[in-house]
């Protein structure tokens, strides 16, 4: 339980430090190619641990500090790194870490709801940022990070490492040159096993080692109502964005990259729900999102259940998942004369209209090394995954979830009628329906949520409907407020 005293101390620490934007921010400068870059990693329980060890492989980079709101994790990692010959200073509160003048950049791997505020604070403090995907928890936050990065002239790189794959980049350039004819549709796939997170009957005890006030940050301060504080936050809208905004943003980003779209889609809709179990999650585990660009649509499909009941009973792993044209987690770009398959993070294969392989690409560079190169050069124009790219791809995920949150349950016949005029959408729905039936889901008894079509102005990044605009941002909990003016 967080006491009022603890909250006041946290707030006092914030205001005692002062707003970073109000102080003199160091002017960015170019660095010599071999000059040391000093990095701090924020959130080291899981993905951030990979960040730390990834930077160890980049020449002339020194991870000098780590930050985590879980003191047990912090102590465990610090001891591990010390044994490996990489001692670090430790921090529980990022705001104190950002006061260090000898830290050049931070590498953020915290829960989604913290990303925007932490990135903006870092920019205001004169630090560059490697920011894990999705870069934001909602549409508006992403735009605020872009503004902060530009205002303070900081490098902010999105952790969509597929952008550092030469193989994928060459394949996308090849199909956009028309080698398979015009692009008709891009489809991202996230068929990844997600078991129930369980269902509790009341508030759960937060681990004593966790500063829950800092962990909660901008989100509403609510009792913990799931078995695990860690990771399962992905499946609760207060802190996560479901799998479309978790694993799926990688594939959403590749699909948009292939289409050559630089802005948000002018229309979006969602069909989905949480099927197969009753647990404490509230994000869809099965979902279709249609981002309806004018030149060619972008579809995204989430499936967290295995291919059928037999696969459920055998094992919950990648081998038991559905596949679409050879991929469970990947991208399929349909062209008039064939299709491009991106089945992983570093390769692509092109097929003609008869399904015969016509070209293949492979290879990727190190995304962490690319970030360090940008920190040294200051050439944001060379960024493969600039924060603006991360914002747009993240926001497409959020747009789909806005449609879902504004949707209503509809029986299968009503969904079928609503999508009948769109052959591509109807085909996706039919496959989803068959998938759920194979898993024993009765859509008459547990209907899918049919989201409304939502129009959006890509320039202002605002919806046409007032109720949708209310979900572009959130109410922030003081003092963890993403600022209107960065």
Cα of 285 vs its chain's centroid, Å = 16
User: Which residue ranges make up each domain of the chain?
Assistant: 27-162, 164-363+387-469
**Distance, CA of 486 to CA of 480 (rounded, Å):** 13
**Distance, CA of 432 to CA of 448 (rounded, Å):** 10
Residue 262, SS3 per DSSP: coil
Confidence grade of residue 307 (pLDDT, cut at 50, 70, 90): very high
Q: Look-up: residue for tokens 């202002």?
A: 460
Residues 38-71: pLDDT tens digits?
Answer: 999 999 999 999 999 999 999 999 999 999 999 9
pLDDT at residue 1 tops 50? no
pLDDT at residue 30 tops 90? no
Residues 63-95: pLDDT tens digits?
Answer: 999 999 999 999 999 999 999 999 999 999 999
pLDDT at residue 306 tops 80? yes
Q: Crossing angle, helix 248-259 and helix 387-405, to 10 degrees?
A: 110
pLDDT at residue 21 tops 90? no
Residue 295, SS3 per DSSP: coil
> What pLDDT sits at residue 70?
98
Output phi, psi for 353, to 5 deg: -65, -15
Residue 256, Cβ neighbours under 10 Å: how many? 24
Characterize the bridge pairing of strands 357-362 and 347-352. Answer: antiparallel
Confidence grade of residue 436 (pLDDT, cut at 50, 70, 90): very high
Per DSSP (E only), the strands in 196-323 are: 267-273, 286-291, 298-303
Residues 124-166: pLDDT tens digits?
Answer: 999 999 999 999 999 999 999 999 999 999 999 999 999 999 9
Characterize the bridge pairing of strands 156-158 and 298-303. Answer: unpaired
What DSSP designation does 56 have? T
Is the CA virtual torsion 104, 107, 112, 113 positive or negative? negative
Query: Full-prediction pTM beyond 0.85?
Result: yes
Q: Which residue has the higher pLDDT, 368 or 319?
A: 368
Q: Give every CB contact of residue 366 below 8 A, 6+ residues apart in sequence.
A: 54, 57, 58, 164
Q: What is the mean pLDDT of residues 156-183?
A: 98
Asked, as a colleague might, if the bond just before 274 is cis with ω within 30 of 0, I would say: no
Is the CA virtual torsion 218, 219, 222, 228 positive or negative? negative
Q: What is the mean pLDDT of residues 308-315?
A: 89
Q: Which residues of 125-162 are buried (b: 16+ CB within 10 A; e: fewer)?
A: bbbbbbbbbbbbbbbbbbbbbbbbbeebebbbbbbbbb
> Which residue from 223, 180, 187, 215 is spatially nearest to 359, judged by alpha carbons?
180
Which percentage of the chain shows pLDDT scores above 70? 95
pLDDT at residue 5 tops 50? no
> What pLDDT sits at residue 23?
60
Q: Cβ(88)–Cβ(51) under 8 Å?
A: no
> What pLDDT sits at residue 27?
77
What DSSP designation does 23 have? S
Residue 345, SS3 per DSSP: coil
> What pLDDT sits at residue 318?
85
**Distance, CA of 171 to CA of 375 (rounded, Å):** 28
Q: What is the mean pLDDT of residues 463-484?
A: 98
Q: Is 22 exposed, middle or buried (0-12, 13-18, 19+ CB in 10 A)?
A: exposed
pLDDT at residue 386 tops 60? yes
> Which residue from 423, 397, 235, 410 is spatially nearest to 301, judged by alpha carbons?
397
Length of the chain: 486
Does 1.20.140.10 match the CATH number of domain 27-162? no
Characterize the bridge pairing of strands 329-335 and 89-91. Answer: unpaired
Which token pair is 225?
């109502």
Torsion of CA 299, 300, 303, 304, to 10 degrees: -170
pLDDT at residue 183 tops 80? yes
> Residue 61: which H helix or E strand, with range?
strand 61-67
**Distance, CA of 304 to CA of 321 (rounded, Å):** 8
Which percentage of the chain shows pLDDT scores above 90? 91
**Distance, CA of 203 to CA of 313 (rounded, Å):** 31
Q: What is the mean pLDDT of the chain?
A: 94
Q: Cβ(426)–Cβ(271) under 8 Å?
A: no
Residues 200-248: pLDDT tens digits?
Answer: 999 999 999 999 999 999 999 999 999 999 999 999 999 999 999 999 9
Q: What is the mean pLDDT of residues 316-325?
A: 92
Confidence grade of residue 31 (pLDDT, cut at 50, 70, 90): confident
| Bridge partners, 269 (sequence order) | 290
Q: Which residue has the higher pLDDT, 273 or 35?
A: 273
> What pLDDT sits at residue 20?
59
The region of weakest confidence among 227-241, 312-326, 358-372 is 312-326
> Which residue from 400, 398, 417 is spatially nearest to 451, judged by alpha carbons?
400
Q: What is the mean pLDDT of residues 91-119?
A: 98
pLDDT at residue 99 tops 80? yes
Output phi, psi for 219, to 5 deg: -75, 165
Q: What is the mean pLDDT of residues 187-194?
A: 98
> What pLDDT sits at residue 118?
98
- Tell me which architecture the domain covering 164-363+387-469 has in CATH: 2-Layer Sandwich (3.30)
**Distance, CA of 223 to CA of 206 (rounded, Å):** 8
**Distance, CA of 82 to CA of 266 (rounded, Å):** 51
> What pLDDT sits at residue 19?
54
Residue 187, SS3 per DSSP: strand
> Which residue from 92, 114, 110, 89 is spatially nearest to 39, judged by alpha carbons?
89
């Amino acid at each position: 339980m967080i006491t009022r005293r603890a909250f006041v101390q946290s707030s006092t620490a914030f205001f005692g430090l002062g707003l970073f934007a109000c102080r003199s921010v160091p002017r960015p400068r170019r660095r010599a190619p071999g000059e040391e870059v000093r990095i701090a990693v924020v959130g080291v329980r899981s993905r951030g641990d990979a960040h730390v060890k990834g930077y160890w492989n980049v020449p002339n980079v020194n991870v000098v500090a780590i930050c985590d709101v879980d003191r047990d994790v912090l102590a465990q990692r610090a001891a591990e790194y010390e044994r490996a010959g990489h001692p670090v200073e430790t921090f529980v509160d990022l705001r104190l870490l950002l006061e260090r003048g000898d830290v050049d950049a931070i590498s953020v791997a915290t829960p989604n709801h913290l990303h925007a505020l932490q990135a903006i604070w870092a920019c205001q403090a004169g630090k560059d940022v490697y920011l894990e995907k999705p870069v934001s928890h909602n549409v508006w936050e992403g735009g605020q990070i872009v503004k902060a990065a530009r205002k303070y002239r900081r490098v902010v790189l999105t952790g969509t490492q597929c952008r550092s794959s030469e193989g994928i980049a060459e394949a996308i350039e090849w199909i956009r040159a028309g080698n398979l004819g015009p692009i008709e549709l891009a489809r991202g796939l996230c068929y990844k096993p997600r078991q129930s997170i369980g269902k509790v009957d009341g508030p759960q005890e937060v681990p004593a080692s966790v500063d829950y006030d800092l962990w909660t940050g901008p989100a509403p301060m609510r009792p913990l109502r799931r078995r695990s504080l860690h990771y399962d936050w992905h499946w609760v809208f207060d802190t996560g964005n479901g799998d479309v905004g978790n694993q799926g943003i990688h594939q959403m980003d590749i699909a948009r990259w292939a289409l050559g779209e630089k802005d948000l889609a002018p229309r979006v809709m969602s069909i989905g729900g949480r099927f197969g179990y009753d647990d404490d999650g509230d994000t869809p585990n099965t979902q279709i999102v249609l981002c309806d660009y004018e030149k060619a649509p972008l579809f995204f499909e989430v499936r967290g259940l295995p291919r059928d009941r037999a696969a459920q009973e055998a094992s919950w792993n990648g081998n038991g998942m559905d596949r679409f044209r050879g991929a469970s987690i990947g991208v399929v770009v349909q062209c008039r004369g064939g299709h491009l398959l991106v089945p992983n993070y570093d390769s692509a294969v092109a097929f003609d209209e008869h399904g015969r392989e016509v070209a293949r690409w492979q290879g990727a560079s190190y995304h962490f090394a690319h970030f360090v190169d940008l920190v040294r050069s200051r050439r944001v124009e060379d960024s493969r995954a600039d924060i603006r790219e991360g914002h747009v791809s993240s926001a497409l995920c959020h747009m789909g979830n806005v449609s879902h949150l504004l949707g209503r349950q509809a029986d299968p016949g009503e969904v079928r009628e609503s999508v009948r005029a769109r052959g591509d959408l109807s085909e996706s729905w039919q496959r989803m329906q068959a998938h759920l039936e194979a898993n024993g889901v009765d859509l008459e008894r547990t209907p899918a949520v049919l989201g409304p079509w939502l129009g959006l102005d890509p320039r202002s990044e605002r919806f046409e409907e007032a109720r949708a605009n209310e979900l572009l941002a959130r109410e922030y909990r003081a003092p963890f407020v993403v600022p209107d003016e960065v």
